[in-house]
């Protein structure tokens, strides 16, 4: 027999299913938790402009931030429909995001991924979003919360 005498089948959206879906994806981005934590309230981008070239100023990002964004892009965590997470949970600003994150449970993993998605996906077209996510602590908080939930429930499921 398989896991828990059910021939290895895991019920969709059960705690075991959520842990199994999220653990390998989070393993790709949790190595950046230390850096994200260290850089809360830190500006991780600079504006570059060159008056000789008459160019528009554009952000230059910290290499760790770019590596984190690339790592997020390799996961299955990003969802272009993240706007529904914000409307469904009445999230309007970063304070609402932090409050939602602090109260989130294992069943909110898809919504937490929606918050991560907002920063990573909208940052691809709006230059300041990635740096704002680091500065406000939202990126650290959401990845840390997701990791904590998966670790806690993953160990509970194995008991």
pLDDT of 157 > 80? The answer is no
The residue range of the domain holding 75 is 3-158
List pLDDT tens digits, range 22-76.
999 999 999 999 999 999 999 998 877 776 767 777 788 999 999 999 999 999 9
What one-character-per-residue DSSP string does 81-132 give? THHHHHHHTT--SHHHHHHHHHH--GGGHHHHHHHHHHHHHHTTTSTTHHHH
Q: Is the dihedral of CA 70, 101, 10, 88 positive or negative?
A: negative
Q: Taking residues 15-20, report their average pLDDT.
A: 93
How far apart, in whole angstroms, are the C-alpha atoms of residue 18 and residue 4?
Answer: 16
pTM: 0.88
Number of domains in the chain: 1
Residue 75 DSSP one-character state:
S
| Cβ–Cβ under 8 Å, residues 117 and 80 | yes
Q: What is the pLDDT of residue 127?
A: 80
């Amino acid at each position: 027999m398989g896991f828990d005498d059910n021939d290895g089948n895991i019920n969709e959206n059960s705690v075991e299913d959520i842990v199994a879906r999220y653990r390998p994806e989070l393993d790709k981005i949790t190595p950046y938790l230390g850096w994200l934590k260290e850089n809360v309230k830190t500006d991780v981008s600079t504006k570059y402009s060159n008056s000789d070239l008459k160019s528009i100023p554009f952000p230059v990002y910290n290499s760790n931030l770019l590596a984190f964004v690339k790592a997020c892009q390799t996961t299955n965590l990003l969802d272009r429909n993240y706007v529904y997470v914000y409307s469904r949970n009445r999230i309007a600003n970063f304070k609402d995001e932090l409050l939602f994150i602090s109260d989130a449970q294992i069943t909110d993993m898809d919504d937490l991924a929606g918050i991560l998605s907002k920063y990573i996906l909208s940052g691809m077209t709006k230059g300041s979003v990635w740096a704002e996510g680091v500065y406000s602590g939202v990126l650290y908080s959401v990845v840390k919360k997701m990791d904590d939930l998966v670790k806690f429930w993953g160990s509970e499921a194995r008991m």
